[in-house]
Structure 1
Amino acid sequence: MMKQGIYYDLSNEDYHSGEGVSKSQLDFIAECPALYQWSKSAPVDKNKVPSLDMGTAFHCLLLEPDEFNKRFLIPKPINMRTNAGKEEYAELIKRAEELNQTLITSEDHAKLMLMRDSAMAHPLAKWIIEAKGKAEASIYWADSDTDILCRCRPDKFIEQFNWVGDVKTSADINRFNAHSYDFRYHVQDAFYSDGVKSLTGEKPRFIFLVVSTTINCGRYPVKTFEFDDIAKDIGRISYKSNLQTLKQCLNDGEFPALQTLSLPYWAKELKND
């Protein structure tokens, strides 16, 4: 059983397959408790998983550049319109599988490099990236209200200054504020912050480093965000409620599965006509 603490050498695979409730699992509980159980046991069709997740690749390039060169195979430009090019690409796919690497095209690699350089041109983003700290540290703690083991894996934990940096990529960076609520990033902030505080005794400063995947005026925009206290408080209320729901489900041995459907507002107005 995992003990409370900060682990610096836990692999990504062991973290995701191990104990503890994560923020993504809280999202399932918030939607429907049965989805929490489903997420832990539903099989994954690995043949249908995209060969390259640009967000994952960018995280690795930005925060773990040495690891990036181990995990990704980057070929020279290939002319896919020729039979020779198609054959060469097929051989590269085979080679990547043998090396347990992910094949990334030279075009995608060039885009990732431009996004990285764009992030490094932003003063605060550059500081977060270069500051002495640990990328992908695994943090475990017991929730103070439910005693449920919780976990998080911050993109960058800068212990010296007690900062947590979280890297996001966005296709529409100008709408990140609206999307942050849809993806419950305020819940992530409160959940991670409380986890760090439970071990260090101090609440960390949580910063979102957002890099656009869409060009604007020839550049990939970069912005940094921090939630206000109201958003953090609402995030805390939300995740605490999710944990209480989980505790009740575990005590009862029942995970409600039915979700309620409703009509759009304009359809409801027809009833009054």
Structure 2
Amino acid sequence: MITEPGLYDDISNEDYHADPCPEPSLSCSGAKLIVNECPLKFWYQNKRLNPDAPVQERKRHFDVGQAAHDKLLLADHFDSQYFILPEGFNAAATKKWADAIAAKEEAEAAGKTALRHDDYKMVVALVDAVKDHPFASSAFQNIIPERSGFYRDREFGFWCRVRFDAWPVNGTIFADMKNVRSAKPADFSKQAADLGYYQQDAWYQDAYRELTGDEMRAFVFVVIEKEPPYCVSVIQLERPAVEWGRIANRRAKEIFARGLETGHWPSYADNVVGVNLPTWKEYQLEDTFGLGAKDISANRPLAAE
């Protein structure tokens, strides 16, 4: 449990996500969940607010992405965190792989993550792709990995937290690693919108300012494709995207503060919500029935004619 605002280098990933603040705090992932899903889902998944919160199931592609992250940024600790299964391992063939199954179970009991041999080869390939990229490789050199920050929000007073992938020892250009479907910059724009990366950008820049009193020179995403040949791009979101992130984060903070005060974490909406058909469906119906927007807006009982 941390007691004072500041930067910390000795907090494990598990302890950070368990929220070590004196009171429930808000992280970037929490802010994204609040505004992109709903406050009730945020509350339901938050162990500090809901003691009965379910344990989140680990998914294989998340394990691969996390392993690549750890292999690149925490290479000295990788072997203590992961167990690599033998090539061709098949848990169903219990007699043939009895020793491997026993070793796997022992490693998992010790808190390690077991990776299939093919997944480990992918992890190595992803890391090598980053190291082969001129700018991406430099972004992860001479850094403090996994530096955590904690502070009180100036406006609302509650605790906020942030965890930087790579804190540059000399400089103010920060990089965050993402394992994505497509590293093509035009495709990343949609992923940034769908996954809330624009909120993350704003959150990290604002947290850095709160924790240091300075401005980041730049925040970039190092994105690596999940399939061979593991193409890499280094992408910086434009200022309008970051400003939209700040607007979304401010809304999340407002909702979080209200939830802490009232104990009410609403679902998608407390009132009746009007919903129209998607634009593509309206065009399809106009073409099918030979009607236009003016016919619809005339408010005539067209279906009865």
Q: Same fold (TM over 0.5)?
A: yes
Task: Report deviation, 1:36.
Answer: 2.3
Q: 1:238 to 1:121 in 2, by over 3 A?
A: same
Matched residue of 1:154: which SS? strand
Match of 1:235 among 227, 241, 245: 245
Task: Report deviation, 1:148.
Answer: 2.2
Residue in 1 aligned with 2:98?
87
Whichever residue aligns with residue 110 of structure 1, its letter is K
Residue in 2 aligned with 1:36?
42
Q: 1:82 to 1:140 in 2, by over 3 A?
A: closer
Q: 1:257 to 1:128 in 2, by over 3 A?
A: same
Whichever residue aligns with residue 204 of structure 2, its letter is Y
Residue in 1 aligned with 2:124?
113
- The answer to whether the 8 A contact 2:126-2:230 is kept is yes
Q: 1:251 to 1:163 in 2, by over 3 A?
A: same
Q: 1:83 to 1:258 in 2, by over 3 A?
A: closer
Q: Partners in 2 of 1:140 and 1:55 — Cα distance?
A: 25
Whichever residue aligns with residue 104 of structure 2, its letter is I
Residue in 2 aligned with 1:59?
69
Residue in 2 aligned with 1:26?
31
Rg: which structure is higher? 2
Q: Partners in 1 of 2:223 and 2:68 — Cα distance?
A: 11
Question: Which consecutive unaligned segments of at least 5 residues does structure 1 have?
Answer: none
Q: 1:15 to 1:220 in 2, by over 3 A?
A: same
Q: Partners in 1 of 2:274 and 2:66 — Cα distance?
A: 34
Q: TM-score, normalised by structure 1?
A: 0.88
- The answer to whether the 8 A contact 2:86-2:100 is kept is no
Matched residue of 1:24: which SS? helix
Q: 1:146 to 1:62 in 2, by over 3 A?
A: same
Deviations 1:43-82 (A, max 9, x none): 3357x53367111111101111111111111244236496
Q: 1:244-255, aligned counterparts within 5 Å? A: 244-255=254-265
Q: Partners in 2 of 1:45 and 1:141 — Cα distance?
A: 27
Match of 2:204 among 176, 182, 192: 192
Task: Report deviation, 1:83.
Answer: 6.0
Q: Partners in 1 of 2:166 and 2:211 — Cα distance?
A: 16
Question: Which moves more between the two structures, 170-179 or 111-120?
Answer: 170-179
Deviations 1:179-231 (A, max 9, x none): 1111111111111111111121212121101111112xxx2101101111111
Residue in 1 aligned with 2:190?
178
Q: TM-score, normalised by structure 2?
A: 0.79
Q: Partners in 1 of 2:241 and 2:143 — Cα distance?
A: 26
Residue in 1 aligned with 2:58?
49
Whichever residue aligns with residue 15 of structure 2, its letter is D
Q: Partners in 2 of 1:154 and 1:166 — Cα distance?
A: 8
Question: Percent identity at matched positions?
Answer: 24
Residue in 1 aligned with 2:138?
127
Tell me the C-alpha RMSD between the 2 structures: 2.5
Q: Partners in 1 of 2:38 and 2:71 — Cα distance?
A: 35
Work out the number of aligned pairs and report it: 268
Whichever residue aligns with residue 191 of structure 2, its letter is H
- The answer to whether the 8 A contact 1:136-1:155 is kept is yes
Matched residue of 2:164: which SS? coil
- The answer to whether the 8 A contact 1:78-1:89 is kept is no
- The answer to whether the 8 A contact 1:2-1:140 is kept is no
Q: Partners in 1 of 2:94 and 2:156 — Cα distance?
A: 61
- The answer to whether the 8 A contact 1:32-1:257 is kept is yes
